[in-house]
Amino acid sequence: MRQSIAQAAITVVCLFALACSTGPKTETADVQGSDLASSPLPDTTAVTPIFDLTTPAPDQASVVPTPTVHKIGEPCTTNSDCAQYEICLSGDAYPNGYCTVGGCANGNSCPAASTCYKLGSDETAPSYCFKSCSSNAECRVGYQCDQHGSCYPAPTRTPTPTPTPTPTPNPNGAPVGGACTQNGDCKDAGAVCYPEESNGDPTGFTKGACVIFDCSTSKPCPTGSTCITLSSGNVCLPSCGSVNDCRFSEGYSCFVAGDGGVCFPGCGGSATCPSGYVCSPDEVCAGPKFACNAQNQAGLCPTGQVCNQGSCGPYNFTCTTGPEEPNESLNDATLLSQPSITPYQLCQADVDWFKVTIPANTIATVGLDFSHPFGDLDLLAYESDGSFLGSRYESEPYPANWRTYETGSEYLSALAGSTGPRTVYFKVRGYDSAVNDYKLTFSQAQYKDIPDSGPFYCDAYFDAALCKGLPSGKMQLFEFPFPDPNDPYLGKGYMFDSVGNYRWARLELIMQLRYAMRQVSLKFPGTKPLGLIDMCQIDGITPGYDLGSPRHPETTHDQGGNIDVAYYQTGADNHARSVCDANGTSQDGSFCTSVANHIVDIPRTTYFIVRLLDNPRLRVIGIDQLIAPLVIDGAKALVAQGVITQQEADKLPQKLAYGSGWPFHFHHLHVSFNWWSSGKPGVKAPVDGCGFRLPADRHPRLNKRLRWRP
């Protein structure tokens, strides 16, 4: 997660995807989820090395060449490319590299037109300068102007090839960039028709567009097009000198690319959408299937409008008194007793209270859904005595400067342990006197903790598909619940260092984490609660894609089988923080540079990892490269003390992942369970106990890049 330097950073960035290898495992940026992350790069010597959306091309006959002086946010491959700006953020997390200045949080100001942000969860997290912006058009391709007004890596919305037979050219067809409905509509050799819709989502390529993938020195683009390097590879796109050279009436604009320009989707500005289409909040044209109309009364509208009876327009709110009123206090809370989705309204100067009585060994989840642009609502949870339990941000009141991370959905879950029932209260309120319509979702699910004597995996107690989160109509994921302070199994043994949107996980992960934390508390009395960080979104996707501001590279937290967890520490608490030394200064922004004065509680951390490995489906645990040897030595000490067996200690070198491919683990462990396969032809199954990443759908999708295969 990235926060302005004026904001409190509350989670950790894990910048590289998971991949399997021999020896110390690496976490490589394999955004497509293939096993080819280490394949040689194509020959791109004569390829325009960047696709830069820094500035729309001027409405003249030519494009002004890109300046040679490097600035914040410009592309790079090494630090030396950035001249006085010293640092090149690289890897697929930063497409084509990103020149920046580091350490701006330590009193070093950012250059003009850039802003300082932290990448981390505490005051010692690394900080960098990011280019300021006011719209997506001011950012390079691969980046977007996020809610903080800075150019930051965008979710993938670039064309990606779908493996198909080599298309047959049509000499009378359309050139690169021309409209099409099938490959046969394109005239150039190797050209394919990139559709305006893929897997139920608009791509932005209105009316389709002929493109050619994998261009290079040996495979140049046809006249009138330019080879551009995207995060998914090289592609030929139509060249342009002004917006008039593009299909601007169909939502395409001309953007700077190296010393020229290329046509790419981007409505708003000079580019408009055809009749029946709408310029979505993501600034791409969405067709009649997706736009608000008489047939689609929940369709897309431009930013600031809502679909009302098939027409986009301003939000009109009329307050009525519902049957749940009065419920303005905890004592008057409305009881939620059956699974339901119920519409309500929050009126002026109003708050709504609800309560849930949770049976023993049950997880209860309450969800708040509303149209965020028309009034920001909050969901907060309280104990029966009125004490604050938690919220999306674990604080009351919300910090106002965190509200840019708000969406129209908030979910909170609570557990009643074996001593249940437990009554939990939920309050809905409007921020800054907001009023809005909303729906409240209530559901409950049976839960059971793993006994001390085992079996040590979820499948022994629940259906295997439920444990692994396999889809049955929709993803079977659970929100990691607030702990039950009266639960004798674990009590308040953990806390959250992440926002509520990103606490969704498989049942097997929740059970194994709680089991391992319990074992640490039993073996080491007085253990403080452990900080739990990012898991995944409710849809099983890596955190941040709901806001268009990814906190991790694609797929690295998909499927609910991954979680970032703080280290057990020798300090005051176990929140997520840099553990290289007590001052949080012995790291270079990616790794610990010294652990001479580290604050990791090695015995507790080692024992925690050992107990996680009681589950045979645990795939790998990412750890800092200097902390890993300390944990391996810690296992030897625990063997000598009779705390663990030699066989248990021998698992650690096989399962710990560290080294140059695992940066940013100086403040957290990355726990990853095996990935699941659909079992369909062409989809690989796990090999040798090493989980695989479900292949990403190779067409772009707005805010989602993965099609869950049932």
Q: What is the CATH number of the domain that holds 338?
A: 2.60.120.380
In a domain, 649, yes or no: yes
The HSE-up count of residue 48 (CA atoms within 13 Å, CB side) is 24
Give the whole-angstrom CA distance, residue 88 versus residue 73. Answer: 9
pLDDT of 52 over the 50 cut: no
Q: Is the four-CA dihedral 419, 421, 422, 428 of positive or negative sign?
A: positive
Single out the residue in 282, 313, 344 at which a domain terminates.
313
Same domain, 415 and 535: no
366-381: average pLDDT: 88
Same domain, 331 and 426: yes
Same domain, 271 and 382: no
Most confident by average pLDDT, 157-161, 164-168, 635-639: 635-639
| Residue 693: closest CA among 157, 32, 92 | 32
In a domain, 670, yes or no: yes
Give the whole-angstrom CA distance, residue 166 versus residue 177. Answer: 18
In a domain, 107, yes or no: no
Same domain, 391 and 250: no
- C-beta neighbour count of 62 within 10 angstroms: 12
In a domain, 390, yes or no: yes
In a domain, 92, yes or no: no
Q: Which two tokens stand for residue 220?
A: 């140049």
In a domain, 61, yes or no: no
Same domain, 562 and 533: yes
| Residue 316: closest CA among 371, 360, 263, 369 | 371
The pLDDT assigned to 110 comes to 80
Cα 671 to Cα 69, 437, 621, distances in angstroms: 42, 39, 5
pLDDT of 72 over the 70 cut: yes
Same domain, 304 and 398: no
Q: Is residue 448 within 8 Å of residue 520, measured between CB atoms? A: no
Q: What values do phi and psi take at 62, rounded to 5?
A: -140, 165
pLDDT of 391 over the 60 cut: yes
Give the whole-angstrom CA distance, residue 447 versus residue 427. Answer: 25
- The whole domain housing 511 covers 1-40+463-710
366-385: average pLDDT: 90
Same domain, 217 and 297: yes
pLDDT of 453 over the 90 cut: yes
| Residue 498: closest CA among 428, 551, 541 | 551
The pLDDT assigned to 707 comes to 21
Q: Is residue 666 within 8 Å of residue 577, measured between CB atoms? A: no
Going by pLDDT thresholds of 50, 70 and 90, the confidence category of residue 487 is very high
Single out the residue in 297, 313, 329 at which a domain terminates.
313
DSSP 319-366: ----TT-S--SGGGPEE--S-EEEEEEE-TT-EEEEEEEEPTTEEEEE
| Averaged confidence pLDDT in the chain | 78
In a domain, 309, yes or no: yes
Give every CB contact of residue 295 below 8 A, 6+ residues apart in sequence: 288, 310
Single out the residue in 313, 333, 348 at which a domain terminates.
313
Residues 518-563 pLDDT 10s: 999 999 999 999 999 999 988 888 888 777 677 887 778 888 999 9
In a domain, 164, yes or no: no
Residues 566-625 pLDDT 10s: 999 998 899 999 999 998 888 887 899 999 999 999 999 999 999 999 999 999 999 999
The structure's pTM equals 0.62
Same domain, 283 and 234: yes
Q: Is residue 102 within 8 Å of residue 87, measured between CB atoms? A: yes
pLDDT of 425 over the 90 cut: yes
Q: What values do phi and psi take at 556, rounded to 5?
A: -70, -20
Length of the chain: 710
pLDDT of 40 over the 70 cut: no
What are 568's strand-pairing partners? none
At 425, the amino acid letter reads Y
Going by pLDDT thresholds of 50, 70 and 90, the confidence category of residue 245 is very high
130-147: average pLDDT: 77
Same domain, 540 and 680: yes
90-119: average pLDDT: 74
Same domain, 440 and 556: no
The pLDDT assigned to 214 comes to 87
> Domain containing 608 — which CATH number?
3.30.1380
**From 217-221, 296-300, 364-368, 453-457, the region with the lowest mean pLDDT:** 296-300
| Domain total of the chain | 3
Same domain, 377 and 483: no
Same domain, 259 and 297: yes
Q: Which two tokens stand for residue 248?
A: 């601007």
